[in-house]
């Protein structure tokens, strides 16, 4: 077994399941208990440190071959796709506002259970700015690039994007019906795929981070209107 094989089978593939496991512990096993907040924080910390530890202490290499990162292109595509995503998400919410507002109580309960209902504005900005970076650093900068070391680009894109969407289903199902949560995972997966493409083409996670920020901020805007309008 080559070093690349070992990296993919023993580091990248197990890593794909870590945020899903953290979401299960947070939103299923310990949901409604103080430990849910603890596992929410630990999961975010883990997916930040997981790539760093392998990079720094075990010399794991998932770098793309080719020229240096094209930061300008990455930023431009991040802004363009982010703006489109922001408009689509907010428009989708306001068109179906009456439907989503049926679940306002469930959404509010979710924030109460996480202990952040009184700090929503702070949480919204922290999630949109920092958590989006952590997820891009982990999913596109580590998992996706690691998979491309072993399998073709399109399969790496589909696999990492599907797993990225899967952990979001666990979050969505706490407040939304099964089929609604499942259907919303489709655009999440498409977003993940778009961010994979930006990362592959520009060799940078800056663009995916910018685009992801717009997506998360749009969701936070919609939730604000659900809770406070």
> 118-137 pLDDT, tens per residue?
999 999 999 999 999 999 99
Segment 64-91 shows an average pLDDT of 93
For 38-69, how does the pLDDT look when each residue is reduced to its tens digit (9 = 90+)?
999 999 999 999 999 999 988 888 887 777 89
Segment 199-226 shows an average pLDDT of 97
Percent of the chain, pLDDT > 90?
Answer: 90
Segment 28-41 shows an average pLDDT of 94
What distance in Å separates the CA atoms of residue 23 and residue 162, rounded to the nearest whole number?
Answer: 15
Q: Which of 221, 229, 19 is nearest to 120 (CA)?
A: 221
Q: Say what the pLDDT of residue 64 is.
A: 76
Backbone angles phi, psi at 124, to 5 degrees: -60, -40
Looking at every residue in the chain, the average pLDDT score rounds to: 95
Q: Say what the pLDDT of residue 104 is.
A: 95
For 94-116, how does the pLDDT look when each residue is reduced to its tens digit (9 = 90+)?
999 999 999 999 999 999 999 89
Return the exposure string of 74-86: e unless at least 16 CB atoms fall within 10 Å of the residue's CB, then b.
bbebbeebbeebb
Alpha-helical regions (H) of the chain: 3-7, 13-16, 18-24, 34-58, 71-95, 97-100, 104-113, 120-126, 132-138, 145-148, 153-172, 178-202, 206-228
What distance in Å separates the CA atoms of residue 4 and residue 66, rounded to the nearest whole number?
Answer: 18
Q: What is the DSSP letter of 176?
A: S
pLDDT of 3 > 90? The answer is no
Contact 117, 226 (CB under 8 A): no
Question: What is the dihedral sign for C-alpha 100, 225, 76, 78?
Answer: negative
pLDDT of 170 > 80? The answer is yes
């Amino acid at each position: 077994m080559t070093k690349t094989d070992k990296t993919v089978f023993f580091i990248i593939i197990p890593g794909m399941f870590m945020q899903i496991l953290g979401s299960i512990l947070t939103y299923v096993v310990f949901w409604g208990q103080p430990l849910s907040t603890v596992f929410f924080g630990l999961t975010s910390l883990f997916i930040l440190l997981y790539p760093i530890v392998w990079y720094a202490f075990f010399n794991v290499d998932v770098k793309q071959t080719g020229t240096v990162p094209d930061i300008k292109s990455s930023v431009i595509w991040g802004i363009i796709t982010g703006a489109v995503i922001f408009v689509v998400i907010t428009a989708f919410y306001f068109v179906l506002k009456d439907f989503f507002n049926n679940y306002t109580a469930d959404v509010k309960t979710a924030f109460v259970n996480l202990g952040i209902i009184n700090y929503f504005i702070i949480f919204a900005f922290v999630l949109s700015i920092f958590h989006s970076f952590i997820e891009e650093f982990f999913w596109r900068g580590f998992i996706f690039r690691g998979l491309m070391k072993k399998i073709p680009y399109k399969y790496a894109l589909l696999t990492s994007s599907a797993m990225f969407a899967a952990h979001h289903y666990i979050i969505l199902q706490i407040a939304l019906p099964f089929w609604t949560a499942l259907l919303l995972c489709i655009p999440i997966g498409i977003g993940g795929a778009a961010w994979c493409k930006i990362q592959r083409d520009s060799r940078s996670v800056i663009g995916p981070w910018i685009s992801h920020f717009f997506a998360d901020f749009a969701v936070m805007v919609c939730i604000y209107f659900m809770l406070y309008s």
